[in-house]
């Protein structure tokens, strides 16, 4: 048997290893927006978007008329130098031709938003329009008079008007889904 056995750690060594549960946290609570900004910045950087705002503020930058028909895919910069890059955009079939004609205005809007020449040209890829219109849901069907009456009787006991209205909207959505 080996005579050199490991000795158990002293109590002071154990205290240094793991902080006790009663110690207060250092720092401050972070908002969800702050956390998401850091997360999207790293994700967008992988796709070539040095500024995540190209993706998050696309509708504000290009306007609703263009944003409804195209989406940015990536922003590729030249391998040497700090020159402006190429913005790769997905657009619906027929709109791709129109976007090609509107690309000078698109470049001007993007560069104007950032205040420096970030984009020199636009590369357009045709994609199905259904993929571009993600996140839009069809309106819910209207409730019948009997369903509205039943819903009204369910939320009637609630005293807070704001809560009552929110519960009524939730109930209407649940009933319409059935």
CATH number, domain containing residue 54: 3.30.300
pLDDT of residue 153: 92
Residues 128 and 47 in one domain: yes
Residues 127 and 171 in one domain: no
Q: Which residue segment(s) compose the domain that 69 sits in?
A: 32-132
Residues 97 and 173 in one domain: no
Structural domain includes residue 67: yes
Q: How confident is the model at residue 143 (pLDDT cuts 50, 70, 90)?
A: confident
Q: What angle do CA 136, 139, 144 make, to 5 degrees?
A: 160
* More confident: 52 or 88: 88
- How many secondary structure helices (H) and strands (E) does the chain include? 9, 3
Q: Is 62 exposed, middle or buried (0-12, 13-18, 19+ CB in 10 A)?
A: buried
Question: pTM of the predicted model, to two decimals?
Answer: 0.50
pLDDT of residue 85: 85
Domain count, the chain: 2
Q: Which residue has the tokens 């890059």?
A: 85
- For the cut 60, the answer to whether the pLDDT of residue 148 exceeds it is yes
* More confident: 139 or 71: 71
- Region 117-123: what's the mean pLDDT? 89
Residues 97 and 123 in one domain: yes
């Amino acid at each position: 048997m080996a005579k050199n056995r490991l000795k158990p750690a002293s109590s002071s060594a154990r205290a240094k290893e793991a902080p006790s549960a009663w110690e207060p946290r250092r720092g401050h609570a972070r908002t969800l927006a702050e956390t998401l900004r850091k997360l999207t910045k790293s994700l967008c950087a992988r796709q070539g978007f040095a500024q995540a705002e190209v993706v998050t503020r696309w509708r504000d930058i290009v306007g609703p008329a263009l944003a409804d028909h195209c989406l940015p895919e990536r922003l590729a910069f030249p391998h040497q130098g700090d020159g402006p890059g190429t913005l790769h955009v997905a657009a619906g079939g027929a709109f791709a031709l129109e976007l090609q004609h509107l690309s000078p205005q698109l470049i001007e809007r993007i560069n104007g938003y950032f205040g420096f020449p970030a984009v020199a040209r636009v590369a357009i890829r045709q994609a199905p329009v259904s993929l571009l219109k993600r996140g839009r849901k069809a309106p819910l069907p209207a409730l019948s008079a009997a369903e509205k009456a039943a819903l009204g009787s369910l939320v009637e006991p609630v005293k807070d008007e704001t809560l009552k209205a929110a519960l009524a909207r939730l109930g209407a959505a649940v009933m319409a889904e059935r």
